[in-house]
Each structure stands twice: as structure tokens, then as C-alpha cells.
A and B are shown apart, each in its own frame.
Chain A
């Protein structure tokens, strides 16, 4: 029954995104970026379940984006580039994860932050290769062997993003219900007990970490393919902070949270920027403060609380 409800909600949400993108053409791009960030935030949510906050997940997002930018000239095919970029991100995630999964809490967060800033500096300073802050253009890519018009390509990317979001959303939902997911919550409450049960906490965290890097990689590839220009700013710590911001905004209670948060974030930013070009940061900051102070469960939590209250009444 719950699976049914979630499925309906998912389909409605997807239909809503598609309808909105059709009705307001320029929102198609904003939606694609939002869903791409939502994918990365889904990974943050996994780690949050284990009580760990990564302030460096922009590393995987930007890594995948640069893989796309570098490889697009050689393999101009979206359906090959995206998995390639995600696999590269996941492999680096595995390497880094072997190391950072030994640490907890602030040390985990800061190490991730440090590594992402190392990558940022590399992108910025090896400018002979990466073109530095000016960034690299992503050449035109084909989709399933067909070179689409810009308009069709943006639809294709949006639909691809939606498919990935639904796929990963379902997978993460299953994952969280599985023993692996329960172990993540256990890691948060009392890690020692987990170890006493014979479950290696590090491996639990590592697998969640690699999965999160993979999803961030998918998100990064989508961002590169839709903006068609990548810059080191994607790896800057503010980009990582943005992902954590979205996770808090959306709420960590459900797999819908990250996407809800990402859409709300991007739409708020867009409309705030349109409304007051010089004070949009203030609006965004106020929204986050309000959410932290009055709705620790995020937007998803607000929605749920409303429903519960409605049922009791």
C-alpha cells in the first residue's frame, strides 16, 4: 500500500515537473539542474542517515562534470558519457572513502571538504589543462546515437534526469529499508553495538559513501551536459555547502526530500534573483533560517506534519 502511495506520489511529481517544463520553457533547464543536484543530495541523505555530514560532495559532482567535458569530444554520446562519469566518480569515491570512512562527525566533514578543495585548486591552477577559471566548453553530444536539436536535447536531458531520479529514489528507498540501511541508522545511534553484532561499521559507511559518489557523479554529468560549460566553481566549498543546504531544506526523512529541497532551492533562487537582483542571497538565507528554526524536518517534514494534523482533525 505504501509502495503504491509512493509510486503515485512519484508519478504525480514527475508529471508536475514535466507539465511545468512544458508550460514554462525556461524552467526546463532549471528543473534539470535541480534534479541533478537532487541526485547528489540523495547521496548526502544516505550519509546523513549515518549521522555523517559531508562538506565535500561537490568533489564528485565536479569530477563527473569534468570527465564529461574532457571526454565529450571523444565519446559524443550522452548515454555513454553519463555512466562513464558516474563510474569515475564512484571509483574516486571508493579510494577516498577507504580513507574518510575511518573518521566520524566533524573530522569526516572536514576531510571531505579538504579533499574537494584540493580538487578545486587543481582545476583552477593547472590551467594549461583545465583552462582554469574560464572553464571548458562541452561540445555538442548525441543522444542514443541521434544528434538532437537544442530544444529536443533539453527535453531528453530532463527526462533522463527524471528517470535517474526515480530509479535512484526507488533504489535508495529500498536500500534504507534493507539491513544495510538499518545499519546506517544504527551507526548513527550507537556504532559500538553495531560492531558487537559483527557488522563492520566502516564497510557500511563505505558502501553508502561510494553509492553517494556515484549518484553525485550522475548529477554532475547532467549538470555538465545541460549547462554545456564547466568551471572549477562546481568544486568550490560553497557548492558542497549548497548540497548540504538543500538536504536540510528538503528534509532527510524521505527520498522525496532531496528533490523537493532542490526544486525549492533552485526556484527560490531563480525567483528571488528575478525579483531583487541584488538581495537574492538574503531571501535564500531567510528561507533556510526559517526552516532550521521552525521546521527541523525540512519541507518534507512540514508537508508530513500538515497531513498528520489534517488526519487528527
Chain B
């Protein structure tokens, strides 16, 4: 057998050499030499989002929002006359592929700016690379609080809040406006966010309302399709409050199965990511449950900075996709608006001369930019200070799904961990007087 192989491979060399040359030439032709001087022809933005896998329930709407917003921006002349070109890539295949794509977009496509990513693992992986490659990178959707609490970056910024305010705001809402409870239970997806958000929930409640009893802690596997045992356990232990920070198909399935067995009529649900599931679960979710939105992202926001902008976006988005925008669309808008604001700020600083990468990155520090709802500020550590909206579900004949009433918009400063502190430590030092600073609830005309 081996002699046959020998003879064949002998001849293969010449062919292989030829083939190698051919492929090499092809690849070489792809190598472009670019010199950046003055105003570029276009601004290329690499956008990492989930186009496959369970998290595509966020990734795909976000991509649609990006396309819509960038089209609108380009139609209005782009940024200082320069048009934008988005290049989307899929986070689905995992971190090593994501990192490879990140490098490809920076080195081959020469993107000017990167929006990354939905997965916290991808954000943690790309932040140091962004720093190494000196590529301004906006963390547009991932929530892990670890990024800026564990390291310092000059090229990485987050244009949204993080997991700490996303849990703290709904819990404060619960403690302030529905304080009559003595037992809680949790059903969370079994991964970092599910565990971390529950640790935060417990820490806050222990600090601000000692004596609350935890009657069930359940962490079904990620992507579970059957919650009958969890629902049975909740029916048996009768917790006053059920905390569930899941999202996507997991949350939808859980709500439907809990509704079928009347669990939602017995316990008060606190769903920090509930806003993204409202339209899908529809009337399964009865009135009276607490819903968060990972920010003040709600198409019927009671006090948006520019009501026309929000209404126009909601309408255009619906025209294009047939559904109402959910929080990832708002997150995407924040990244787009932050980019525009930073370019404009850098241009003003330089007196109209096009900024370098470093100057653009510097412009993000302390930047205040508009969003679809209320303005967001990027702190000196790179973390965004965004308001958090929490509301209670209510039925409205105009909509086929529950909308939010008694909405509280928490100011970002109030619920975000101060610069230089660790979230878990900071939550342990919360004082009860924070409850007295919780704003009044507002109900908007639906």
C-alpha cells in the first residue's frame, strides 16, 4: 500500500506547487494597500450579532434596526457627508470564529469601527484585541459587568448599561411598589447570567428587605423546552414572587407553561428581560407582572427626549418587519447614535479635520449622545450610564399583547455601580434610603 502512495505523492508535488502558486496569487490580489488621509470615502462598521442560534431572537431584529438606521442616516448625508457601510457577521459559531472574524474585518476590510457583541464571552474576548489593534469598539449589547470592573480600556466603550442596573432597577421597583411579599423563588437559565442575576437579586433583597425566605432555586438547562417540574414545584411552594431573568424561547415557553397552569395568577413574576418577549407571548402573560427592558427601551416610553424620533422609528421598523422593536433594536440605535456623536465631537475638536482612530476613541470618553428614548452618557471608565425602565403589565385593547403601565424610569447614576467598584461589593453596601429616591410611576397614553 505504501509504495503506491509513494509513487503518487511523487508526482503530486509539481501539481501541488502549481496549485499553491495559483491560490497564493489569488489571495495576494486580495491584499489591499490603504492609506488613511483626510476624509474617507465611507465609514465601515463591523457589526457582530447573532444571525444563527437561540440568541438570533435578538440578533436578527438588531440587524434589521441597524440597516434601517444606517439607511436613514445615509439618506440624510451620513456623518459629516461620509456615508456608512455596515458589515455584519455572525456570532453563532463561537468565540474562536468570532475572534477570527474580528481580526479579518479590522485587517482585511479595514473597518473604522466595530460594534461587538451580544454574547458576553465575545465581548470579554474582543476587548483586549480591540486594545491591541487600536480599533474603536462599541460593546453594543452584552451585559457582563466584568468588562470595565476588571480591566481598563482606551478603545472599548459600552453604549448601554450593564447587568447590575438591569437587575437592580426591577428589584427596586418590586421593593418600592409591591413590597408585600415574604417568599421568593427563582427559575433562571443555567449559565453565568442566570446565576449572576440571581446572586444580585438575593444580595439586594437581603440588604433592603431582610427576612425574605427563598423557597425554591431552580436552574433548568439553557434551551429547555419543558418546565413542568419547575411549575409544579412553584405551585407547591407558593412563592409570593418568582424571579426569572431568562430570555428568548426559554422565557416564552416558561410563561406559556406557567400560564396554562394558572401559576401567573398566584405569584408575582419579576422578568428583567420580559420586554423582549411581550409581543411573542401575547395574552398568555396576564396583567400585574413586573417587566424590565435592559434599559429604558420601550416603544411607548412615557417621557422620551424626542417623541417624534421614537414614534417614527417604531413605525418604520414595524413597516419593515411587521413587529414592534424590542430592546436590542434600541441598543443598536444607541451604538449608531454614539458613533455619530463621537465623530461629530472629534470633528469639532479638530476644527473639521477628519479624526484618527485614537482621536475618535478619545471622543467617546465622557460622550453624551441621544438615544431613541433618553440620552446616554459614557463614563470615564467606558461604561455607559443609561436609564432603566421598569413597568407592570396591563391589557390594552389596542394591542394583541400586554403593554406597560406604572412605568418608572430609573436614572442611570442611581442604579449603576460607581466607577472603580465591583458590582457584587457595591450591592452589599446599598442603603435603604435608595428606595426613597425611586421616582414616581407614570402611565403613558398607550
Contacts and interface: CB of A to CB of B under 8 A. Distances in A.
B107 A25 contact: yes
Contacts of B103: 26, 29
Contacts of B99: 29, 227-229
Interface in B87-134: 88-90, 93-97, 99-101, 103-104, 106-108, 120-121, 124-125, 128-129, 132-133
B125 A227 contact: yes
Contacts of B192: 127, 131-134
A274 B102 CA distance: 11
A135 B95 contact: yes
B397 interface: no
Interface string A3-38: 001101100110110011001111101100100000
A124 B191 contact: yes
Nearest to B132: A150
B190 A125 contact: yes
Interface stretch (A92-100, A160-168, A195-203, A301-309): A301-309
Nearest to B95: A231
A263 to B, nearest CB: 10
Given A273-B101, A278-B90, A307-B11, A227 B96 contact: yes
A150 B99 CA distance: 14
Given A20-B27, A23-B28, A124-B191, A254 B2 contact: no
Contacts of B96: 33, 223, 227, 234
Given A24-B27, A26-B103, A132-B191, A273 B15 contact: no
Contacts of B125: 135, 137, 227-229, 231
Given A33-B100, A277-B88, A227 B95 contact: yes
Contacts of A135: 95, 121, 124-125
Contacts of B90: 273, 277-278, 280
30 contacts: A1-B10, A2-B9, A9-B13, A12-B16, A12-B17, A12-B20, A13-B20, A26-B103, A27-B27, A29-B100, A29-B103, A30-B104, A33-B96, A124-B190, A124-B191, A132-B192, A132-B195, A133-B120, A134-B124, A134-B146, A150-B133, A228-B125, A231-B94, A231-B121, A233-B121, A277-B51, A303-B15, A303-B16, A304-B8, A307-B11
Contacts of B88: 277
A223 B100 CA distance: 11
Contact of A2 (B5, B97, B128, B132): B5
B93 A26 contact: no
B430 interface: no
A133 B191 contact: yes
A23 B121 contact: no
Nearest to A11: B13
Given A2-B9, A280-B90, A16 B101 contact: no
A306 to B, nearest CB: 7
A124 B221 CA distance: 11
B191 A19 contact: no
A145 interface: no
The 6 closest A-B CB pairs, nearest first, are A2-B6, A229-B125, A26-B107, A132-B192, A5-B10, A278-B51
B17 A20 contact: no
B30 interface: yes
Contacts of B80: none
Contact of B89 (A25, A26, A150, A277): A277
A177 interface: yes
B82 interface: no
A254 B5 contact: yes
Interface in A100-154: 124-125, 127, 131-135, 137, 150
Interface centre among B9, B89, B129 (most CB of A within 10 A): B9
Given A29-B103, A233-B95, A273-B97, 9 more contacts: A2-B9, A12-B16, A16-B23, A16-B24, A25-B108, A137-B124, A228-B128, A231-B121, A274-B104
A312 B192 CA distance: 61
Interface string B162-200: 000000000000000000000000000011100100000
Interface centre among A30, A131, A307 (most CB of B within 10 A): A307
A275 B27 CA distance: 15
B404 to A, nearest CB: 30
Contacts of A30: 100, 104
Nearest to B192: A132
Nearest to B125: A229
Interface SS of chain A: helix, strand, loop or mixed? helix
Interface of B: 2-3, 5-13, 15-17, 20, 23-24, 27-28, 30-31, 51-52, 88-90, 93-97, 99-101, 103-104, 106-108, 120-121, 124-125, 128-129, 132-133, 144, 146, 190-192, 195
Contacts of A269: 93, 97
A25 B107 CA distance: 7
Contacts of A131: 192
A238 to B, nearest CB: 8
Interface in A240-257: 253-254
Contacts of B28: 23-24
B286 to A, nearest CB: 32
A5 B94 contact: no
Contacts of A23: 24, 27-28, 31
Contacts of B120: 133-134
B65 to A, nearest CB: 16
A33 B98 CA distance: 12
A24 B26 CA distance: 11
Contact of B9 (A5, A127, A234, A280): A5
Contacts of B16: 9, 12-13, 303
A13 B144 CA distance: 42
A189 interface: no
B23 to A, nearest CB: 7
Contacts of B20: 12-13, 15-16
A307 B8 CA distance: 7
A281 interface: yes
A19 B121 contact: no
B250 to A, nearest CB: 14
A190 interface: no
A5 B104 CA distance: 34
Contact of A19 (B24, B51, B100, B190): B24
A151 to B, nearest CB: 9
A311 interface: yes
Contacts of B144: 134
A26 B8 contact: no
Contacts of B12: 5, 9, 303-304, 307
A233 B16 CA distance: 35
A228 B27 CA distance: 26
Contacts of B5: 2, 253-254
Contacts of A127: 191-192, 195
